[in-house]
């Protein structure tokens, strides 16, 4: 079992739709959680950190469920510019930061 697992997709959604991604992690001692965005042939960039209480940034909402060991990302009112790969990232302390393989999102006009 991979330490961090994501549905690779692709998710194909129309503009204006709401889409949600989940990510599961295997290490219950994981301490930090992030969503990164990676555009085609570009470097990953931090989208948002994920806090225990959940957090929201505009159209993006991230949630953490420690009991079930998953994090989620909800995107509301999808834009064409949201098309990208979304990487789930889990830190377990020390240097160890595990990146998921990513979920591809395509937003269609």
Regarding 52 and contact with other proteins (CB under 8 A), the answer is: no
CA 84 → CA 9, 13, 38, 46, distances in Å?
Answer: 11, 12, 6, 13
The tokens for 48 are 């948002």
The residue among 103, 85, 72 whose CA lies nearest residue 44 is 85
- CB of 77: closest distance to other proteins in angstroms? 25
78 vs 90 by CB, closer to other proteins: 90
Q: Which of 24, 75, 78, 102 binds other proteins (CB under 8 A)?
A: 102
- CB of 9: closest distance to other proteins in angstroms? 12
């Amino acid at each position: 079992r991979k330490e961090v697992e994501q549905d690779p997709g692709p998710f194909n959604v129309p503009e204006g739709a709401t889409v949600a991604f989940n990510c599961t992690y295997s290490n219950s001692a994981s301490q930090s959680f992030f969503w990164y965005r990676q555009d085609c042939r570009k470097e990953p960039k931090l989208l948002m950190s994920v806090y225990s209480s959940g957090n929201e940034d505009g159209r993006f909402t991230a949630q953490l469920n420690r009991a079930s060991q998953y994090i989620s990302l909800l995107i509301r009112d999808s834009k064409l510019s949201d098309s990208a790969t979304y990487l789930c990232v889990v830190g377990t302390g020390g240097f160890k930061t595990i990146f998921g393989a990513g979920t591809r999102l395509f937003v269609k006009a």
